[in-house]
Amino acid sequence: MNSSGTRSSRWGRNPFVHTLKFSTADKIKIGLMSVTVFPVRLLLVSFLMLLAWPFAFAASLGRSQYVVEPQSWWRSFIHLSLRVIMRVMWFCGGFHWIKVKGERATPTEAPILTVAPHSSYFDSIPVTCTMCSIVAKLESASIPVWGTLIKYIRPVFVFRSDQDSRKQTVEEIKRRAASGGEWPQIMIFPEGTCTNRSSLILFKAGAFIPGFPVQPVVLRYQNKLDTISWTWRGPGAFKLLWLTLCQPHNAIEIEFLPVYTPSDEEKKNPTLFAGNVQKLMAKALELPITDLSFEDREISFSQGPLRIHNPSSLLEFNQLVRRLRLKSTDVLLKDQASRARKLPRHQLDLEDFACFLHLPVTDALQQVFNLFVKQNEEVRIDIRHFVIALSTIYRPSRSMETLKLAFQMYENEDSGEVHEDELSSTLEIMLGVKEIELSAFFMELDGTDTGKITYDELYHFIEQHPRFVQDYLDFKDHPRKFGIRRPISCNGQNHVKDK
């Protein structure tokens, strides 16, 4: 699969990876703080969080999740007490001064606050400072102590894997936003996941579907050593808590930007609305914008024996698939594979490709088509390559299912075998690499280069050799060139020595 070559520069640093590098001075400072200040801070923070729990629990008793009752004097007292306790807690954690720029809008001016970048559980600082409602995962309500505090601010809960739950979440946001200031403002992190703050990833549309004015809020953590970022690959939560509490001071700045009122066109097009707010916030933060989204992290960090080695072209393909609004399911993929197998000619031009997908010819479809056109050949694509790529981005960590789907499209009806070049093309797409050479693998498999293999044979070989990609494949920029050695066959036995 080809790539336009422009995505890598637009993506830059992977926003889902965070690496910490310590200088000698950092190590000495952390060592000293770990045996002096850290235990005291941890004790105080834990005590204050436990102190807040009975207040939040009492205020939440008998309270409706659908109606805002008049604020009684004792609930007002609890509200003020919780804000004070939370501020003291952050102070004890090293956030001595919280710099605030701009002016927060009233709920009637902007019922929704959009906050970015989202990079840490420390992003709860602006939440506790404002006591706004938030959109939270349903599981967060069951977190000991902290879950009670979350429930106190009357969040909108969402169960991410349930599409109906997502729709209900959007409807609840609409209902609250339309209350004319009766409900507290809703603070939403539109990126939908934590990143390392190197860029702003695509904003989800949930905050923008209601079409109400929003107030963008940007966060800046200003310590030189970033012990804040908690994302998909990097230090864990407890390590970051320890390192952050070992910093003499943790600098944070919260800036409220002017309220953004959507145009009529943006009200009709939440994606446009989200994109324009994202650009505004990226400019204020002086950060680039990427085409990556929350869902792309699964492609970046796929698992399994045939995990994706270079996700660049597949990430680009996934971004274009989103533009085409193509939905994938296991049943749909099987149907496409079945139809692709039955085609008398697997090579399709752009018009035939559009008919196969039941879509009109558009610029986005043309771009998808171009990803699969081979250089120096007629302008046609092998539709089987498209189905393999679609299966790979839909289920990046279920590579054996994609491999089986490919065999169903390629295999000989009588023998169930596929040719070496067909397997090479399949693996190139699945791994995101180029120029796979399989002759050495076939020699290792049965001692003769037959150039054919069945799915069962390949499945069992991969099952017995979990380092299959590293040890038995040859392709351009293979990691073996950087020191990974191929096992040496001796008397029919393979011996792998890991250094």
In a domain, 135, yes or no: yes
Three-state DSSP state, 120: coil
In a domain, 8, yes or no: no
- Cβ proximity of 403 and 430 under 8 Å: yes
Domain end among 234, 269, 291: 291
Give the predicted TM-score (pTM) of the model: 0.80
Residue 384 sits in the same domain as residue 252:
no
Q: In whole angstroms, what is the distance from residue 398 CA to residue 393 CA?
A: 10
Number of domains in the chain: 2
Residue 153 sits in the same domain as residue 41:
yes
Q: In whole angstroms, what is the distance from residue 345 CA to residue 362 CA?
A: 23
Q: What is the pLDDT of residue 123?
A: 96
Low-confidence ranges of the chain (pLDDT < 50): 6-9, 482-499
Residue 203 sits in the same domain as residue 330:
no
Q: What is the pLDDT of residue 419?
A: 92
Residue 269 sits in the same domain as residue 360:
no
Q: What is the pLDDT of residue 157?
A: 85
Residue 219 sits in the same domain as residue 199:
yes
In a domain, 251, yes or no: yes
In a domain, 54, yes or no: yes
- Cβ proximity of 410 and 404 under 8 Å: no
Residue 218 sits in the same domain as residue 342:
no
Structure tokens at 187: 């603070």
Q: What is the pLDDT of residue 11?
A: 53
Residue 164 sits in the same domain as residue 191:
yes
Closest Cα to residue 392, out of 426, 342, 438, 346?
Answer: 426
Residue 272 sits in the same domain as residue 407:
no
Domain end among 246, 263, 291: 291
Distances (CA, A) of 290 to 158, 286, 294, 304: 25, 13, 12, 27
In a domain, 5, yes or no: no
Residue 435 sits in the same domain as residue 344:
yes
The DSSP code sequence of 226-263 is: ------SBSS-HHHHHHHHHTSS---EEEEEPPPBPPP
Distances (CA, A) of 488 to 146, 443, 495: 54, 13, 6
Domain end among 237, 256, 291: 291
Residue 85 sits in the same domain as residue 106:
yes
Residue 273 sits in the same domain as residue 312:
no
Residue 335 sits in the same domain as residue 268:
no
In a domain, 459, yes or no: yes
Range of the structural domain that residue 370 is part of: 298-495
- Cβ proximity of 429 and 388 under 8 Å: yes
Q: In whole angstroms, what is the distance from residue 31 CA to residue 21 CA?
A: 15
- How much is the mean pLDDT over the chain? 88
In a domain, 463, yes or no: yes
In a domain, 161, yes or no: yes
Question: What residue has token string 């770990």?
Answer: 34
